[in-house]
Amino acid sequence: MIKRLLFGGAVIESIPANVGLAILRIFTGLSMAMGHGLGKLPPSEQFVTITGDLGFPVPEFFAWLAAFSEFGGGLLLALGLLTRPGAFFIWFTMLVAGFFQHAADPFSTKEMAFLYLVITGMFVVIGSGKYGVDTLIRERDL
């Protein structure tokens, strides 16, 4: 049951669909890790303050958690390793970014958070697709 949750995913037989999922997963993961997460490590005082202003207790801890979610979750997503948990951490971080941090901002400002929210939500549901490390782990233990 836990293995299915961590490494599971939908079985899709279409090669073009699996290639498309792999391209989307790798691009999304690397974009998140390198374009957003890496720049937050270590979290700046400003990022810690913003995290505290959102109401999170122990803002330094949650700022680190958000930064690791974006960086580490992005790398896991790109590899297709622990895709569902990695995507979930990004999904939650983007939920906070889109609906709380940028709540009063125009849609054009929060659009990127929403795009990452929807894409990572899809990977939480379907897993990595055929061309990811999760599939190698699942097939090895059959």
Confidence band of 4 (pLDDT split at 50, 70, 90): confident
Return the pLDDT at 66.
Answer: 97
Which tens digits make up the pLDDT trace of 106-133? 999 999 999 999 999 999 999 999 999 9
List, for residues 43-61, the tens digit of each pLDDT value: 999 999 999 999 999 999 9
Residues 6 or more apart in contact with residue 49 via CB below 8 angstroms: 59
